[in-house]
Chains A and B, each alone.
Chain A
Amino acid sequence: MAMNRREFVKMMGLGVGYSMLRFGHGGMAFASDAPVDKHLIVIMMRGAVDGLSIVVPYNEQAYYKNRPNIAIQRSEVLTLDERFGLHPSLAPLMPLWTNKSMAFVHASGSPAETRSHFEAQDIMETASEHPGSTGWMNRLVQILPDTNSSTRALSFGNTLPRIFEGSYNVATVPRGIKGGNGKMAFDNPKVGGAFDSLYKNNPELHSLYKDAVSSREEMVADLNEEMTAASKDAAKPDEFVNQCEKLAKMMSRDAKIQLAFMDVGGWDTHINQGNAKGQLANKLEKLGTALAALCQGLGDRYKDTTIVVMSEFGRTVAENGNQGTDHGHGNVMWLFGGNVAGGKVWGQWPGLEQTQLHEARDLAVTTDYRSVIGQVLVSQFKLSPEQVSKVLNTYTPAPDLNGLV
């Protein structure tokens, strides 16, 4: 089992272990020639979203045969190419398709057999099937050139997602953080000093505290001026839209933010999924708005940023007995960004006829999600094969996506 930071620190018994770790240990070579001005945002749709409703294979008879109530009709999709159409709720994203900065990789995902949400998410976030592994984005930040900022890697939400677990202290962007208005006790330097001494002999808490205070300072600074402008807008009811806007503001202002991760839940549509309208359509509409806001809000930074949207697995090709779908296998991954070869649905489409399905029920996986990530690592961050292997836990990306990013 991989050792995490806490165990490592415990073993070392002293704080020295930590600083060694933070600044690259165990042969984690820095990518000294890697560009410092490239950025990656990963968005995880937790709950296994139905990719066949997102990028609809509108030529497949089997798609309509298997989904009498929940299919998106050919006349309803936003045409992407001669095979696929986008869910109509995602109309806000079409300008990004037209300007060729949005791409999809269909029939992609993890080859792992599991249909457990939690296990599949862990696998995707660690690039490992061994429980307890560190997150691949934590391994990645340790390889990227240090931008000397405590907000190099940002995580949204209250608990640390698996993808960011590991020896590097990732800054967490709490719900409801504000600019200068949200004063907390330790913002007072005298108070802050007291806590610093309170934790000085506890390596875990001390490093956490120091990183927390400095990343908080940077976040407050990042948001301070921008929030004033934002407050003119009407409050957005949807939290994910808010998060996307917040992230866009922070990253557009602060070039030192290299990695960010957000998750958005509620995709486990076992009942009443709906079709062009309904439950899933409503959620996708919010998601589309949020992603469009993120891409737009990044401004100039967009050209140096890649956004990857993924979900732990797909859903059954056939609708179930309650006009929903159960846990499946292959899905679609989404990519955005200035470097993305967009306007194209990538990947090999395996078809939806019974004999073409995974275990006779699910969309097959023809592209490993790690190959998609690998493309970003190589093209965007210029990582060497050895470094890619470290991030992806010895996986070697397949070459068939060359040119995607």
Chain B
Amino acid sequence: MKKLFAGISIIVFTLSFAHIASAETMSQDEQVIHIINRITYGPNAETIDHVKKIGVQNFIEEQLHPENISTPDSLSSKLSNMKTINMPLDTLVAEYGNPLQMARMDKNKDAEKDARKNSNIIVEELSQAKVERGVESNAQLQEVLTDFWFNHFNVFAEKERDRFYVSSYERDAIRPYTMGRFRDLLEATAKHPAMLVYLDNWLNTDPNSRAARGKQNGINENYAREIMELHTMGVDGGYTQTDVTTLAHILTGWGLGKGKTMEEKSVFYFDPKRHDYSDKIFLGHKIRGRGEAEIEEALDILATHPSTAHHISYQLAQNFLADQPPETLVKKMAETFTHSNGDIREVLETMFKSPEFWDKQYFRKKFKPPFRYIVSALRVTNVEADDNLIMLPALKNMGEPLYRNLTPDGFPNTNDHWVNSDALLKRIDVAKRIIKAALNTGKNVSAAELIKVLGGDFSQDTISAINGAGQNLQPVMVLSSPEFLYY
């Protein structure tokens, strides 16, 4: 009995000690690695020295202002060789959409197949560009945030016409707003044809309206629900099924251009003839029925709702800090969100300046999802862009097929989804292929060099395990080590 009690008191002691220890702040060297891990896709040969030289705070400041960061020439030239990533939406539709539509009208199966195949280049180049930018861009936080917000406002490139829209969606509706005002980001996504098609709102119609007919004959709740559940308030944000239905009525007519050609149908257009003009009560607000302005009002209500401030802050903190972010931090961020009128840059600053962000318990605790894993491996090994081609199928194989997440919640970013046995084996396999590619192009990928680039703080256990292995295997083991699998 005595022994048992002694055992219990040891456990209690250990637990409380663990609690005190967990409030410890990271060392300066850890802070350098932590900030690089969280706001970039991991160190390349220069990153650690750069951050040590200018200091962590200046590095954060630098990354929060991507407009002042120049694009490396090698990246610019790679991007400029891509045909479609800078094509305006109407050109994309004219070049790739119209041939498909024509083939369909002619009922020419072969031509349809060809047109479809030709249009694959849009998503292929966009995916390729995403990897290139992740690896080479110096505006790393901008890339991390583009990924975050795309995922937050996810669309699926295989849904109907979205294959023609998806690169414009990322470029025109996401990239310009990553650190801007949330309300602008919400509006840009709400109006983009990619979202209007993906969540069906282009069909959402007042059943009693003059123009209700055919496939546009009534209400569709899809977007109304997801904009509240995923984009703004969160599933526990305090709305009801009535609010979903009401918002669907408010959103009637918010859709795409009329006309016969795919180009005409690929622009945002509010159709007053399909709108429900009745007065409505949405989330307790009286909304006077008056057309498009109702939708702007509803977006205002959503963007400024306290639940939205909390939900967005939680999502950001989960992405940048911890799977279960501390509520104290989320609250501070939500306050900033509210006071700054949804200024994303300020919300990020609040997070990066908080003591919670530097709490040692979060150091290297998130398991890298596939895209982050691959891009960070390419950065540390300096493997050339052309070799990335093999990486797109690998991403699909690992569960992150770029731009092809079917469901609107996007890819998960928490350990509970990604840590599994198959994930580990596949990372080892990819590590082997990347090291092979590096060796083929004459890169110095000795284990010692890689560890140095990564900040040099590998544990003694890891280092002795690596040293105990054969020469060729050593760099593969660096990329498979606990220090590299987590960030």
Q: Which A residues have a C-beta under 8 Å from some C-beta of B?
A: 4, 6, 11, 13, 46-47, 114-119, 132, 155, 157-160, 162, 165, 169-176, 184-186, 190-191, 194-195, 197-202, 204-205, 208-209, 211-213, 215-216, 265-266, 268, 270-272, 320-324, 326-327, 359
Contact = CB atoms under 8 A, between A and B. Distances in A.
Interface string B296-318: 00000000000000000000000
A74 B409 CA distance: 37
Given A114-B235, A198-B465, 16 more contacts: A4-B416, A6-B415, A11-B18, A169-B421, A172-B423, A174-B397, A174-B422, A184-B429, A185-B476, A195-B477, A195-B480, A213-B425, A268-B407, A271-B215, A323-B217, A326-B221
10 contacts: A4-B416, A184-B428, A190-B470, A198-B462, A198-B465, A198-B482, A208-B424, A212-B421, A268-B222, A320-B219
Interface string B198-226: 00100111010000100111111110010
A139 to B, nearest CB: 15
A172 B419 CA distance: 11
Contacts of A175: 397
Interface string B419-443: 1111111101100100000000000
B205 A204 contact: no
Pairs A-B, 3 closest by C-beta atoms: A321-B218, A158-B399, A212-B421
A238 B92 CA distance: 30
Nearest to B18: A11
B419 A322 contact: no
Interface string B1-37: 0000000000000110010000000000000000000
Contacts of B215: 271-272, 322-323
B425 A186 contact: yes
Contacts of A190: 470
Contacts of A216: 421, 425
A93 to B, nearest CB: 25
Contacts of A185: 428-429, 432, 476
B269 interface: no
Interface of B: 14-15, 18, 200, 203-205, 207, 212, 215-222, 225, 229, 235, 241, 244, 324, 397-400, 406-407, 409, 412, 415-426, 428-429, 432, 459, 461-462, 465-466, 468-470, 473, 476-477, 480-482, 485
B407 A321 contact: no
A125 to B, nearest CB: 12
A6 B212 CA distance: 54
Interface centre among A132, A195, A200, A321, by most chain B C-beta atoms within 10 angstroms, is A321
Nearest to A266: B406
A105 B476 CA distance: 52
B120 to A, nearest CB: 17
A321 B412 contact: no
B414 to A, nearest CB: 10
A266 B158 CA distance: 12
B399 A205 contact: no
Contacts of B235: 114, 116, 118-119
Given A165-B416, A201-B459, A118 B477 contact: no
A170 B420 contact: yes
A115 B248 CA distance: 15
Contact of A115 (B203, B241, B485): B241
Contacts of B476: 185
A171 B218 CA distance: 46
Given A11-B18, A185-B432, A270 B220 contact: yes
Nearest to B473: A194
Nearest to A165: B416
Given A195-B428, A208-B419, A322-B220, A158 B204 contact: no
Contacts of B400: 158
A187 to B, nearest CB: 10
A182 B15 CA distance: 45
Contacts of A213: 425
Contacts of B207: 321
Contacts of B225: 115-116, 326-327
Nearest to A272: B215
B418 A321 contact: no
Contacts of A198: 462, 465-466, 477, 480-482
Contacts of B204: 321-322
Contacts of B218: 320-322
Contacts of A165: 416
Q: Considering residues A118, A216, A271, which has the most beta carbons from chain B within 10 angstroms of its beta carbon?
A: A271
A271 B203 contact: yes
Contacts of B480: 195, 198
Contact of A158 (B203, B422, B432, B462): B422
Residue of B14, B241, B400, B412 with highest tally of chain A CB at under 10 A? B241
Contacts of B420: 155, 159-160, 170, 172, 208
A313 to B, nearest CB: 12
A392 to B, nearest CB: 21
B222 A270 contact: yes
B422 A212 contact: yes
A25 to B, nearest CB: 14
Contacts of A270: 200, 220-222
A304 B207 CA distance: 51
Contact of A174 (B415, B426, B462): B426
A205 B482 contact: yes
A198 to B, nearest CB: 4
B416 A200 contact: no
Contact of A265 (B398, B406, B418): B406
A355 B220 CA distance: 23
B387 to A, nearest CB: 18
B425 A184 contact: yes
- Which residue, B15, B205, B218, B466, has most C-beta atoms of chain A within 10 A? B218
Given A191-B473, A198-B462, A212 B219 contact: no
Contacts of B412: 159
A322 B398 CA distance: 35
Contact of A327 (B219, B221, B398, B425): B221
Contact of A157 (B229, B399, B424): B399
B15 A11 contact: yes
Contacts of A184: 425, 428-429
A46 B407 contact: yes
A175 B415 CA distance: 20
Given A202-B482, A205-B482, A266-B406, A321 B428 contact: no
A116 B234 CA distance: 10
Nearest to A201: B461
A172 B216 contact: no
A272 B160 CA distance: 12
Nearest to A209: B424
B388 to A, nearest CB: 20
Which interface residue of A173, A174, A176 has the most chain B CB atoms within 10 A? A174
A208 B324 CA distance: 22
A321 B220 contact: yes
A205 B365 CA distance: 12
A288 to B, nearest CB: 21
Nearest to A216: B425
Contacts of B417: 159-160
B143 to A, nearest CB: 23
Given A118-B235, A205-B424, A265 B407 contact: yes
A117 B407 contact: yes
Contact of A194 (B212, B416, B422, B465): B465
Given A118-B235, A160-B416, A326-B221, A321 B399 contact: no
Contacts of A47: 407
Given A198-B462, A272-B215, A204 B425 contact: no
